[in-house]
Amino acid sequence: MTARLAVLVSGNGTNLQAILDACANGRLDAEVVVVLSNRKAAYGLERAALAGIPTEYLPLRPFLDTGRSRRDYDAELAAVLASHRPDWVVLAGWMHLLSAPFLHNFPNRVVNLHPALPGVFPGADAISEAWEAHVAGKLDSTGVMVHLVPDDGVDNGPVVGTVEVPIVANDSRETLEARIHAAEHELLVDCLSRLIDLDARRKRPYEGPIGVHHPTDATERRTAALPEASQ
- pLDDT tier for residue 157 given thresholds of 50, 70 and 90: confident
Assess contact for 15 and 93: CB atoms under 8 A: yes
Rounded average pLDDT over 115-123: 88
- Please indicate whether residue 134 is annotated as part of the active site: no
The beta strands (E) that lie in the chain are given as 3-9, 30-37, 55-57, 88-91, 110-114, 141-148, 159-166
Rounded to whole angstroms, how far apart are CA atoms 170 and 176? 10
Residues 75, 112: Cα–Cα separation, whole Å: 19
Tens-place pLDDT, residues 170-184: 999 999 999 999 999
pLDDT cut 70: percent of the chain above it: 85
* pLDDT band per the 50, 70, 90 thresholds, residue 223: very low
Q: What is this structure's pTM?
A: 0.85
pLDDT score recorded for residue 202: 75
Contact present, 115 and 141 (Cβ < 8 Å): no
220 pLDDT more than 70? no
State how far the Cα of 19 lies from the Cα of 191, in Å rounded to an integer: 11
What are the start-end ranges of the H helices in 146-207? 173-202
Selecting among 114, 147, 181, 185, the annotated active-site residue is 114
